[in-house]
Copies of this chain bind each other. A is one copy, B any other.
Amino acid sequence: MPASRGRGQSAGLTRAQIIEAAGDIVADAGAGALSMRTLATRLDVTPNALYAHVDSKDDVIDGVLDNVLGEVRRASPQAADPIAALERIMTSTYAVLVGHRDLVPSFLSRQGSRGPNALALGDIMNHLLGRIGAEDVDAARRVLVVHAIGSAAFATTGSEGRLAVSERVARQHFDLGLRWLLAGIVETAAKNETGGVTDR
């Protein structure tokens, strides 16, 4: 019920404000509770008013996803040990995603968000992978991202399924896979080290 406003009166809505409110709903009541209507109610406007600032519900979700990615602890591209820096970025990404469980399916179906935070993270990863000497930077980055998001999707204190596994064990599995992948990337890079361009 948009309560107190007359017909042409601005509610002072902003795209950023809408997306933040959407994030709050997801945090408070789960992703299933997010609808254009619950969102409108929280902002004290009618549902259709939102469409002056966002394109669609998917647009809203994209914004929420990128905000979440903003919580990832970003390592510096100039970190002394690029492999350790990559390990930290991916581990932080995993932790953030596990902290926002019911957003993870959206993450995968929308291919991990294309917002500014996702792009910044991707750039840092590219730079670190370049310093390691990765043969195919795009491939390495994608495999790492798939592992982080996929692992988060599988890390559920899974109600009924018997494969369900504790958060601690899921985290161990993630760590193990991450080490295997980084080792593979490094090894592939080492093979190609026939005087190619490196960082120092």
Identify the closest chain B residue to A162 (Cβ).
B114
Contact A153 B108 (CB under 8 A): yes
Contact B105 A139 (CB under 8 A): no
Contact partner of A180 among B114, B165, B173, B181, CB < 8 A? B181
* Cα A63 to Cα B14 with chains together (Å): 43
Interface segment, one of A1-9, A68-76, A81-89, A142-150: A142-150
**A100-134 vs B: 1/0 string, CB under 8 Å?**
00001100110110100000001000000000000
Chain B residues contacting A158 (CB-CB under 8 Å) are 111
A177 touches B (CB below 8 Å): yes
Number of A positions contacting B (CB below 8 A): 41
Copies of this subunit: 2
Contact B185 A180 (CB under 8 A): yes
Please report A residues at the B interface, Cβ cutoff 8 Å: 104-105, 108-109, 111-112, 114, 122, 136, 138-139, 142-143, 145-147, 149-151, 153-154, 156, 158, 161-165, 169, 172-173, 176-177, 179-181, 183-185, 187-188
